[in-house]
Chains A and B, each alone.
Chain A
Amino acid sequence: MRFKKKIIILNILVVTVLLTSCTGLREVNDLGIVTTTAIDMDNGEILLTHEVIVPESNTSISTGRGNNVVYVQSKGKTVFDAIRNATLIFDRKLFLAHNRIFILGEEFAKQGIGDSFNFYVYDNEPRESAYIVVAKDAKGYDVMGINGGLSDSPGKYLFDIIENYQLNLKSRDFSLVEFLRYYLKDANPVTAVVEHIQQREINKEESQSIKDSLNVVGGAAFKGDRLIGYFDSDEMKGFNFIIDEFKNGLIVFETPDELMEESELIADSGIYTVVEVKDSSTKNRIEIIDEELHLKIDVDIKGVLIEDMKGLEVSNKDILHSVESSCSNQVKNHIRMAMEKAQKEFKTDSFSIGNLVHIRYPDLWREISGDWESVFSDLEYTVNVKTDLVRTGLLNVPINIKKELK
C-alpha cells in the first residue's frame, strides 16, 4: 500500500514536471538577437527588415564604438511567414524578445497595420513594450542603420532618442501595448515619427562630408490603424497638453513689448522668452451649453523662467504676471493648432474626447457615436491656461539690464 502510494506520488511529480516545464532549450549563441524591426509592404507582401546584433567573439575589450549589426530582410505573405522565411537566408533563429522598436514604413502604415500586428501579440517572444514609430516619407528600412549618436547600435540610438521624449515634448513615445489599447477601444492613436536628416559633418578636413542622423520630431496621427497625417512640433506640444502628458518641456514665446520701456538695455535684439515647464496638469471637461457639446480644456502649468532675451525685470510682480499671461497665450496657441489640425484636416478625434462624452452623457453618446467624427469636427471648445512661475532661474535681474554705477 505504502509502495503504491509512493509510485502514485512519483508519477504525479514526473507528469507535472514534464508537462509544464519549459521546452525548447536554446543556447545564447544560437540566437540572432533582434533589436529593431522595420515593417514594409512590397508588392502586396510583407517585407521585414531585422537589425541583428553580431556578438563579438573576442572577449577582450571590444574594438571601436559599439556592436556590429547586420540587417536581415525577408518577405512573406504574413509577418510570421516573413520571419520564418528569414531562416532560409540567415543562419540563426531570429530572437524577437529583445526587439524594442517597430519602424513602420509610411506606405505600410497608410494601408493599416492592425492585422499585421496580430502575430506580435499571439507569439510569446515579442515584447509589447516595444515602441512604434512611423518612418516619415520613407520605407521603414530607409531609416535603419543610421547611428548619429554614441549608442552601441543604430537600434539603440533610435530607442534612446525616442526615450528623450521626456526632455522635449515635441515628440512622444508610443509602445505596442498602448497601440493595442487604442486599437481595441476603437480610438485613434498618435505614434512617434522618425525621419532621416542630413547634417554637415563637423571636422577639420577640407572636404565637407555629410552626417546622417535621425530626427523624431512630431507625431503620426492614425485613424484606427491607418496613418492619416502628421502633427508638427508645435502641434505635438499642444497635443501633449491636451492629453495631459506634458510634464517637462519648453514653451517659447515672444516677450510682451510694452514692458520694455523703463530698463536700459545693453543688448536688445532678442525677442523670445522661454519658460521651462516643471509640472502641468490638464483637465478636459465636456459640457452641454445651449444644447451643443462644448469642450473645456483647463491647463495648470508650474514653470521656471529660464531664458529671457529682452531684459525683463522679473523681480517686478507686474512684469512677471504679464510674462505668465504671455506664456499662457502661447500654450493656448499650441492647443488651438493641434485641435485645428485634428478637427479640420484629419477630421479625427486623436485626443479621445469621445470617451469623455461617453462617460458624461452615455445616452447622448449612443445617439451620436456613429457620427462622432463629424460632431467632433464642429466641436466648440474653450481653452483656459494658468501659468505659475515658481522660480526665475538663478538670477533676479537679467544680465542684459544696465546696472547703475554707484
Chain B
Amino acid sequence: MVISKDIQKNKLKILELFYNSSDIVIRDFQTLCNTEVMVCYLNGFIDKEALNDNILQPLIENLLSPMDITDTVYITEIREITSYQEAITGIIEGHVALFHEDLDKAFILNLCDYEKRPVEVSGSEQVIRGPKEAFIEDLHVNKTLVRRKIRNNNLVFEDFVLGKHTNTIVSLVYVKGIVNEEILAELKSRIKEIKTDAVLDSNYIGEYIDDTPNSFVPTVYNTEKPDVLAGKILEGRIGIICDGSPNVLTVPKIFIECLMTAEDYYLKPMHATYLRIIRAICLIISVTLEGIYIALANFHQEMIPTPLLISMAGQREGVPLTSFLEALFMIMFFEIMKEAGLRLPKSIGHTVTLIGGLVIGQAAVDAGIISAIMIIVVSATGIAEFVNPTLRELIVISRLILIFFGAFLGIYGIVCGLIVFVYYLTSIKSFGVPYLYPIAPYDKKGMKDFIIRAPIKKMNCRPEYISNKNSKKRNRSL
C-alpha cells in the first residue's frame, strides 16, 4: 500500500499495522515551514539523543521545504521508501521512519542503537595463546569483528532474511576469489529453500543446510571466535552468521577439523602436532575403550595379562551386575552428573561434581555395586571425551553402539562396528567435499595440515576440494 500524504492517516495506519503495540513510539511536530512531520520507531531500539539533536532539532529549526529533508537532517544512512510494508520492515530493524505531510513517501533513518553484550573472552573455545575475543549476539558487531581480521574489499557479506515471524538476518561471509563458486551457489540455493517461521540460533540454519541431518556425525562446523572464522573463510569455506547467535557456522566441514583448534596455528608446529596426536588418541579412547573393555572381560579373557585378569576377577567378585549392565549403569550415572554439572549454576555445579564423583563413585566401589576398574574405564573415557568437545555428540552415540557390539559379539563386533563406522564416514560428503578428505580421497598437499601440522611456511596450498581451484596461500609472488 502506498504511503499517503495525510499524516493522521499514516499514523493510524502504522498503529493499526502494529496493533497498537505498546513499544511503538510516534511523534508528530511542526517544522519551520509549518508543515507537519512524523517520526516513528520502536522504543529502546534507537539512539534517542541522536534523534533529538540530529533529526528533530534540524527539522524544527531549519526545514524550509519538503524537498530539503535529506539535506537538513544530520545522518549518514537514509533511504526513501514508498510503501507501508517497507516502513514496517525498517521500523522493525530498529530504524526511524520519517513521514512528511506533503510527500507520498517516507524516509528510513538508521539510528539503530540498542543494548548488547560487550565483546568478551570466548567461553567455550578457550585458548592460552592467540586472540581471545568472541562473537556476540549482534550481527553488526560480529561483521565488524570479521572485517577487522580481513581488511580486504574481497570480503563479502551477503544478507538473507529468514523466518516468517522472526525476520532474522542471516549473513553469508566469504572471500571472493578464494571461495569455491559451486559450493557458494549450492549453499545459497539451500538457504533460499529454507521455509521456517523462526530462526533463534544458527543451529536452526545448520539443520536445514546439513548434508546428514539424521546422523550423529556433524557436517557443519561452528565456532565462537572471529580468528577461527577468518582462518576458515581464508581457506575457501563460507561462514554463516546469524543475528542473535554468537555461534557462527562454517561449511563445508571435513572430519579433521574436529581435531583442530585455533591454538594449533599459534604454537610451534611440533607441539601442535603433538597436541593433535593426543586429541586423535583421545578420540579413539573415548569411542572404543569401554567397548573393548567389555569385549575383553566377557569373551577374550585370554588376551588380558594374567596379573590384570586376577585383579579384575578380584574386583568383579561379588558385583551383582554383569559387566555390560555395569558399564551402562556407570555411563548413565556419568551422563547424569555431566548434565547436572552443566545446567546448574556454577557455584552449585562444583558441589554436584564433588558429591557425584567422590562420594557416590567411592561408595559404589566400597559397596561392591561397581568394580573399581569399571570406574577407571568410564572416567578415562569421560575425560578423553572432553578433549574433543566439538565431537561430543558423535563420541557419545558411537560409544554406546560399540558397547552393544562389544557386549554381544566381542572384539569381532567391535571390529565390525568400526569398519561400518569408517565406511559410513567415507560415504559422507559435506557440500560435495568428501568428509574424510585428505585421507580419502588421498591428497598429499592436504596432509600438511592433517594430524601433522606442517610449518606455516610449508603450507602453500589451500585444500583443493574446498577452495577455488589453483589458489595458493602463499608463494614467491605474494
Contact = CB atoms under 8 A, between A and B. Distances in A.
Interface of A: 17, 20-22, 24-29, 31, 33, 35, 53, 55-59, 62, 67, 95, 97-98, 100, 125, 127, 152
Contact of B315 (A20, A59, A127): A59
Given A53-B313, A152-B307, A27 B322 contact: yes
A15 B152 CA distance: 60
A35 B316 CA distance: 19
Contacts of A62: 314
Given A57-B318, A98-B306, A100-B306, A28 B312 contact: yes
B322 to A, nearest CB: 6
A26 B407 CA distance: 11
Contact of A97 (B302, B366, B409, B413): B302
Interface string B300-325: 11100011011011111111001100
Given A27-B322, A27-B323, A127-B302, A17 B413 contact: yes
Contacts of A127: 302
Given A27-B322, A27-B323, A35-B306, A22 B412 contact: yes
Nearest to B323: A27
Contact of A56 (B297, B317, B365): B317
30 contacts: A17-B413, A17-B416, A22-B299, A22-B300, A22-B409, A22-B410, A24-B299, A25-B299, A25-B407, A27-B316, A28-B316, A29-B319, A33-B309, A33-B310, A33-B313, A35-B306, A53-B313, A55-B313, A55-B316, A55-B317, A56-B317, A57-B317, A57-B318, A59-B371, A95-B301, A98-B306, A98-B309, A127-B302, A152-B307, A152-B310
Contacts of B203: none
Nearest to B303: A97
A100 B302 CA distance: 12
Contacts of A95: 301
A31 B297 CA distance: 11
A152 B318 CA distance: 22
A17 B409 CA distance: 8
Most buried by A among B309, B312, B408: B309
Given A21-B409, A25-B407, 10 more contacts: A22-B299, A26-B301, A27-B323, A28-B312, A31-B313, A33-B306, A35-B306, A53-B313, A56-B314, A98-B302
Interface residues of B, number: 33
A59 B302 contact: no
Interface string B319-363: 100110000000000000000000000000000000000000000
Contact of A59 (B301, B307, B314, B323): B314
Contacts, number: 82
Nearest to B372: A59
B298 interface: yes
Which 5 interchain pairs have the tightest Cβ spacing?
A97-B302, A22-B410, A57-B317, A55-B314, A55-B313
Nearest to B312: A28
A28 B301 contact: yes
Interface string B141-177: 0000000000000000000000000000000000000
Given A35-B306, A97-B301, A28 B409 contact: no
A29 B319 CA distance: 9
A21 B416 CA distance: 10
Most buried by A among B314, B317, B413: B314
Contacts of B318: 29, 57
A59 B365 contact: yes
Nearest to B313: A55
Nearest to A54: B314
A29 B412 contact: no
Contact of B314 (A20, A22, A24, A57): A57
Contacts of B372: 59
A273 to B, nearest CB: 41
B412 A21 contact: yes
Contacts of B413: 17, 21
B302 to A, nearest CB: 3
A27 B366 CA distance: 20
B292 to A, nearest CB: 13
Interface string B379-415: 0000000000000000000000000000111111100
Nearest to B299: A22
